[in-house]
Amino acid sequence: MKKKRIMVIGPSGCGKTTLINALNDYEGPLRRTQDLLYGKNTIDVPGAYVENAWMYKHIIATAQDASHVLMLIDQSNCTEMYSPGFAKCFRCPVIGVITKCDLSSENEEKCLQQLKDIGISEPYFHISFPMGTGIDALKKYLFEKGEE
């Protein structure tokens, strides 16, 4: 049986690779993702897959290998990227993550509304790598929940 991984999706530049590196305990250099990458604990989905709705079928198919799906929204640039109700396409739990929560605090309510419109219910995780916010809580939720 294949190992189930955490699938991370979001638009380009929203902090996917930084989050994925943290979830995989990897501290090497960042590199641009152009293809689906299977890491130790994750599946990294390129931003282009989300930015082009015709690629959704590939995301949905890949999610068959996922234990969870993390859908990221960048608080510093909360452009609506996902189709309404998109989270309902997945058979595994979908978790909403707001990245760069230390920037553009005036966008927080808009980001929360987007997560609701996508079809994701709470809890939502607010993450900022420069501030060191939220990543430990997310890791605990993802990794310790499965051990119970």
| CATH number of the domain encompassing residue 118 | 3.40.50.300
Report d(CA 30, CA 27) in Å as an integer: 9
Q: Which residues, 6 or more positions from 60, have their beta carbon under 8 angstroms from its beta carbon?
A: 89, 90
pLDDT (0 to 100) of residue 2: 64
Instruction: Report whether 56 contacts 85 (CB < 8 A).
Output: no
Could you tell me the residue range of the domain that residue 112 belongs to? 5-145
Domain count along the chain: 1
- The mean pLDDT of the chain is 89
**What does the DSSP assignment read for 34-101?**
-S-EE-SSEEEPPHHHHHSGGGHHHHHHHGGGEEEEEEEEEGGG----SPTTGGGG-SS-EEEEEE-T
Q: What is the pLDDT of residues 109-133, one digit of tens each?
A: 999 999 999 999 999 999 999 898 9
Res 148: pLDDT: 41
pTM above 0.85, yes or no: yes
Buried b (16+ CB within 10 A) or exposed e, 86-106: bbeebeeebbbbbbbbbeeee
